[in-house]
Chains A and B, each alone.
Chain A
Amino acid sequence: MAETATLPPKLAETLDLLALMPDRADRIQLLIDLSDRFVDVPPRVAVRPFSCDDRVPACESEAYVWAERRPDGRLDFHFAVENPQGISAKSFAAVLRESLSGQPLEQIAALPTDLVYDVYGQELSMGKSMGLMAMLQMVKALSKKALGEGVVKEEVVVAS
């Protein structure tokens, strides 16, 4: 299990909550409650039809991820899940959006991908976990990209 002390606080809180639930049905109910909190990407960020560049590879639920930069350089994450049956993808998107938006990019970039198991347990099929991991990897990649861009921007400022 990921060491929750090093995770963004809201994510650590969700993982701790899940870990405290010994009953599988309760865990599942919490994940469904999370999927009910799923928020579709706002039109100011993206409108359908979405670009393939924003699509999560290997995700059967046809998920898309976007990052919106805040004035302080941190990111807000937005998601779309096009498969109406994609409840797991929606719940994970809700976890990522609520717990990672506005958090330090370095911390997001360093998240362990096996976090998916901390959220969903070990019962995930291979196909499902591949897709969810790919969602997390895309969020991490967007954070790394923003970190890189931040450095470039700084250099440009210095050079001018």
Chain B
Amino acid sequence: MSDIESRGYVKPEVLVSTEWVAEHRSDPNVRIIESNEDPLLYPSGHVPGAVEVDWTRDLNDPVRRDYLDQEGFSALMRRIGASRDTTLVIYGDKNNWWATYAFWVFQLFGHTQAKIMDGGRAKWAAEGREVTREVPHYPESHYQAPPRNDEVLRAYRDQVLAHVEKKGKLIDVRSPQEYTGERMHMPDYPNEGALRGGHIPGAKSVPWARAVAENGTFKTANDLRSIYEGEAGLAPGDDVIAYCRIGERSSHTWFVLSYLLGYPQVRNYDGSWTEWGNLVGVPIEK
């Protein structure tokens, strides 16, 4: 039994090890994707054969606050030479924070053949594995994405409000200071701030990185259950909404709950605190 399989996840197939990537990176049906917060990391050295998907330029609409649309996603997949049945293996910096964000966006378009490389970029580098600065080019594919489906994985503010009213479960993955409202926004950075501090009523605080072990891999299912179920009071089968400040950290928690613990209905509220903390008249708890 592999290390990943031994950790007791409900859907262990969404994770692959660095060894697996080393063995399969040249497989024509596998595309390795690096997705980081730091735009300098990929060009400074990456897994040979990996392409870059950048969260700001590739996954977001350049004008509206929204994700790319059906055409945009098709174009992105064509550019990296992926077809609908290509296995996309995503990894990145910051404990795969941005990798799970890309993974979540990919799921809005139903690309279910997707996996995360456990431990991310840092583990690959720590193991002394090969990196290159060479940017690969793959023949453009004919990818045709279905329309984006926001229903299942994405929560909008009215749905969050309805969820609050029916006492639904929410996980706030921001820092404890943001949760209590002690910190309104980072100094000098009003762009990601909000007019009000605190959290969505009923939300439990579980900072996203608690799901990650010291070595950057995901904690075991038992450890995760003791955090999300033991401490935060979730129960298997719960309808859960996760949020943070702009919806990226919470995609990491969405991934953990949906795949590693197998919760059937988890949505990411990407409007998150930058929307909720600025909305007129919505309830806030401190």
- Residues in chain A within 8 A of chain B (CB atoms): 25, 28-29, 31-32, 35, 84-85, 87-88, 91, 113, 123, 125-130, 133
Query: Does residue B192 face the partner (Cβ distance < 8 Å to A)?
Result: yes
What's the dominant secondary structure at chain A's contact region? helix
Closest to A114 in B: B188
Q: Would A87 and B186 count as touching, CB distance under 8 A?
A: no
CB distance from B14 to the nearest CB of A (A): 23
Q: How many residues of B contact A (CB 8 A)?
A: 20
Whole-angstrom CA separation of A130 from B41 in the bound complex: 18
Which of B38, B41, B93, B188 lies at the interface centre, i.e. has the most chain A CB atoms within 10 A of its CB?
A: B38
CB distance from A132 to the nearest CB of B (A): 11
Q: Would B125 and A31 count as touching, CB distance under 8 A?
A: no
**What mask results when residues 124 to 157 of chain B are scored 1 for a CB within 8 Å of chain A, else 0?**
0110000001000000000000000000000000
Query: Does residue B122 face the partner (Cβ distance < 8 Å to A)?
Result: yes
Which of B39, B43, B121, B125 lies at the interface centre, i.e. has the most chain A CB atoms within 10 A of its CB?
A: B39
Q: Enumerate chain B residues within 8 angstroms of A129, measured Cβ to Cβ.
A: 189
Q: Would A130 and B186 count as touching, CB distance under 8 A?
A: yes
**What mask results when residues 185 to 215 of chain B are scored 1 for a CB within 8 Å of chain A, else 0?**
0101101100000000000000000000000
Q: Name the interface residues of B16-50: CB closer than 8 Å to any CB of A.
A: 37-41, 43-44
CB distance from B67 to the nearest CB of A (A): 17
Whole-angstrom CA separation of A123 from B57 in the bound complex: 9
Q: Would B125 and A123 count as touching, CB distance under 8 A?
A: no
CB distance from B197 to the nearest CB of A (A): 16
Q: Enumerate chain B residues within 8 angstroms of A123, measured Cβ to Cβ.
A: 39, 56-57
Q: Enumerate chain A residues within 8 angstroms of B122, measured Cβ to Cβ.
A: 84-85
Q: Would B189 and A87 count as touching, CB distance under 8 A?
A: no
Whole-angstrom CA separation of A86 from B122 in the bound complex: 11
Q: Would A130 and B125 count as touching, CB distance under 8 A?
A: no
Q: Would A28 and B39 count as touching, CB distance under 8 A?
A: yes
Q: Enumerate chain B residues within 8 angstroms of A29, measured Cβ to Cβ.
A: 43
Q: With A29-B43, A32-B43 in contact, do A87 and B38 touch (Cβ < 8 Å)?
A: yes
Q: Would B44 and A128 count as touching, CB distance under 8 A?
A: no
Q: Would B56 and A126 count as touching, CB distance under 8 A?
A: no
Which of A25, A35, A88 lies at the interface centre, i.e. has the most chain B CB atoms within 10 A of its CB?
A: A88
Q: Would B39 and A85 count as touching, CB distance under 8 A?
A: no
Q: With A84-B125, A85-B93, A85-B125 in contact, do A32 and B40 touch (Cβ < 8 Å)?
A: yes
Q: With A84-B125, A85-B93, A85-B125 in contact, do A31 and B189 touch (Cβ < 8 Å)?
A: no
